[in-house]
Amino acid sequence: MGRGRRPRVNQNRGRRPNQFKNSTPTYEHRLQIVRFFANNSMKETLTRYFLDAQGTTKETKRKSIHLWAKNKAKTERLGSTNATRAMRKLREVGTATVLSKETELQLVTWINEYRADGAP
């Protein structure tokens, strides 16, 4: 067995940079699309809102529009409220874990004890 590091799989010096290809629309934008789609065809909706989409991207957008139209009540509720219209993903109340002040202080004390012992 050889010693040392294994050779790199990609020759670009490590991790590839993020491409940021996905774009999630806000609830306000979804609501505009659903309202337009209610009075127009899918072809007109795709042409107006997703002009540059082609191939599988266009098909994905078509499916998304149908999903938003199916959940129109939720889209209407979230797209018309000031607090949620700019959001892209809604986290319902109770989804996040919230620690009490005492528990948080215990965690800080515990971490500081480990750091005092030499842990990073």
What distance in Å separates the CA atoms of residue 109 and residue 11, rounded to the nearest whole number?
44
Q: Is the pLDDT of residue 105 over 80?
A: yes
pLDDT tens per residue, range 29-82? 999 999 999 999 999 999 999 999 999 999 999 999 999 999 999 999 999 999
Residue 33, Cβ neighbours under 10 Å: how many? Answer: 23
Where are the chain's structural domains?
Answer: 27-92
Q: How confident is the model at residue 12 (pLDDT cuts 50, 70, 90)?
A: low
What distance in Å separates the CA atoms of residue 22 and residue 97, rounded to the nearest whole number?
27
Span between the terminal Cα atoms of the chain, in Å:
32
Question: pLDDT at position 23, please?
Answer: 85
Q: What is the pTM of this model?
A: 0.65
- The tokens describing 59, both together, are 């098909």
Q: Which residues of 34-66 are buried (b: 16+ CB within 10 A; e: fewer)?
A: beebeeeeeeebbeebbeeeeeeeeeebbeebe
Burial of 68 (0-12, 13-18, 19+ CB in 10 A): buried
